[in-house]
A and B are shown apart, each in its own frame.
Chain A
Amino acid sequence: MENFKEYPPLFKKKVPLKSIVGIVLFILILVSFSLSFYFVGPAEVGIVKRFGKIVAVHDPGLHWKLPFIDQAIKVDVMAIRRLEIGFRTITLNPPQYRNVQEESLLLTKDGKIVDLDFVVQYQISEPVKYISYVKEGERLLRDLAQASMRQVVGGYLFDEILTVSKDEIQNDVKISLQNILNSNNFGIKILNVQLQDVIPPDPVQPAFQDVINAKSEKDKLILEAQAYYNKIVPEAEGQAAKIIAEAEAYRTEQIEKAKGDAQRFKALLERYNKTPSLIKTKLFMEAMEMILPQVKIIVIDDPKGGMKIFNLPGDLFTQTTTIRQEGENK
């Protein structure tokens, strides 16, 4: 090396070569250094694999690993993932869905078919299991969720599914799905299973609608009949009350009249007993006085001549009072 000192151009050439090697080394060190660290996000778990073996599991933050040899895998464990079965969302705004019939038509216990959509929400709860034991976990989850739903729905009657048993079904599916995931080390936790549309299949819907119509028709008929009842019965009761009140009035009237008549008779009788013929004549005359001006009197002066009435002129009965002497007609 000393000899070359005399040749500055050569020396000058050598220095850049050395520094190039230095720069390369420096870059290499820098790269190694930067590859020795990795960052785990706040919702993630970091898993470090060395020669295919898991050697470390890291919480969020900055962590160290062997450059080139260690491989870091980050798994989001907070995200709530969603699986749509029986339908797919096309766009959220405006909401548009596509029905997937082969997924949504299910046989029920009583051999009928129900159109049922549901959503499974899940989280990756054990990331080590999730990356180690199951290939294509999400695809399997879709198939398993369908299998569980079919199994559970097959245990219920059609009407139960449509009406009362939704909570039970959701819960049953959740439990049976979680069990099979656990026994196969999926590392997935089912948060919930939610039934969406649970409806009769399209071809039978008009018939179902008609039942609803029939039900409301029934209710309407009954309401009308009740209205009729509520009109007729009080009316009759009112009428009855009127009849009874009238009868009571009549009864009272009869009794009071009788009492009055009796009283009056007693009073008259008292007077009559004192002077019988006087009272009798007086009463008779008073009566005649009242009656006679208001009657048309025809006097027939023949006690046995009753038949003569038929020979009397017709106008006699309508004209004002005239007295004709029997003798005049002779």
Chain B
Amino acid sequence: MKWGITIFIIIIILFVIFLFSAFTVDITKQAVILEFGKPIRVIKEPGLYFRKPFIQQVIFFEKRILEYDSEPTLVVTKDKKSMILDSFALFRIADPVLFLKTVRNEIGAQARLDDIIYSEMRRIVGQYDFDDIVSIKREEVFEEVTKSSQEKAKELGIEISTVRMKRVSVPEENLRKIYDSMIAERERQAALYRAEGQREAQRIKSEAEKKKVVILSEAYRKAQELKGSGEAEASRILQSALSSNPEFYQFLKSLEIYKKTLPGNVLIITPDSEIFKYLRSK
């Protein structure tokens, strides 16, 4: 009976020791074992582990990628323009012992990263012009911020994977200026369209007028040529016919003219006129 009780007590004690000493490290976590407050071991692989109860202490840290998210901050570029940058960074706790010594926990890390990334950003953005940051050199700028932040964060046991810009913006009054210049540009464009419309319409209309004059004057020329050649031809034909007896032609033509002009008019004649030739000679 005595032995039985002893064994039972020993089992209970062992079980309690087991409960106090066993711990699991999840795949998302890493652990540091402290002995009397001094780190003696880092566990990065997941699994079941043991510690010496009471004298060893286990502290867990995230092993996954974490996000550092800053407040939007106002920075000034080389050409003295302000811009609002809202950055965030992806980071991991690479050296948990160092991390523990320098920043203790994730909240501490956020605060220190704030200092690092903010000051690096101010420093580097200040070396570039506004337009460059917005357009061509944006990647270069943030690459640089990432690199120098990485350097400094290393001292905290933190590995920064990348620093990125969630927002790149401008303060309200600068926004107004951008809008104004966009509006002015559009207004120019609209005015240009209207002027182009006027000009083009005018061009087409004057082209039409010009064409009209050209067509009509050409037609006039051709008509005159035709008429002239007709008249020339006609007089040539007549001439060749009449030249055989011009006097008789003159007589005929005179008669014709009388026939055309005299009827309806008053004819004042003397009795010795040719018409009365026979009247007289009677």
Contact = CB atoms under 8 A, between A and B. Distances in A.
B120 to A, nearest CB: 17
* Size bin of chain B's contact surface: 35 or more
Interface residues of A, number: 110
Interface string B27-40: 11100000000000
Majority DSSP secondary structure for residues of B touching A: helix
Interface stretch (A9-17, A34-42, A90-98, A128-136): A128-136
Contacts of B168: 107, 150, 154
Contacts, number: 309
Interface centre among A186, A247, A297 (most CB of B within 10 A): A247
Contact of A184 (B134, B161, B211, B235): B161
B215 A298 contact: no
A300 B270 contact: yes
Interface in B92-129: none
Contacts of A201: 179
A150 B139 CA distance: 11
Majority DSSP secondary structure for residues of A touching B: helix
Interface string B188-209: 0111111011101111110111
Nearest to B187: A207
Contacts of A283: 251-252, 255
A116 B249 CA distance: 98
10 contacts: A54-B27, A154-B138, A207-B190, A222-B204, A229-B204, A232-B208, A254-B234, A294-B263, A297-B269, A298-B269
Interface of A: 49, 51-54, 102-103, 105, 107-113, 131-136, 139-140, 143-144, 146-147, 150-151, 154-155, 158, 180, 183-186, 200-201, 203-204, 207-208, 210-211, 213-215, 217-222, 224-226, 228-229, 232-233, 235-237, 239-241, 243-244, 246-248, 250-255, 257-259, 261-263, 265-266, 268-269, 272-273, 280, 283-284, 287-288, 290-292, 294-303, 309, 317
Interface of B: 24-29, 45-48, 62, 64-67, 69, 88, 90, 130-131, 134-136, 138-139, 161-162, 164-170, 175, 178-179, 181-183, 186-187, 189-194, 196-198, 200-205, 207-209, 211-212, 215-216, 218-220, 222-227, 229-231, 233-238, 240-242, 244-245, 248-249, 251-252, 255, 258-259, 262-272, 274-275
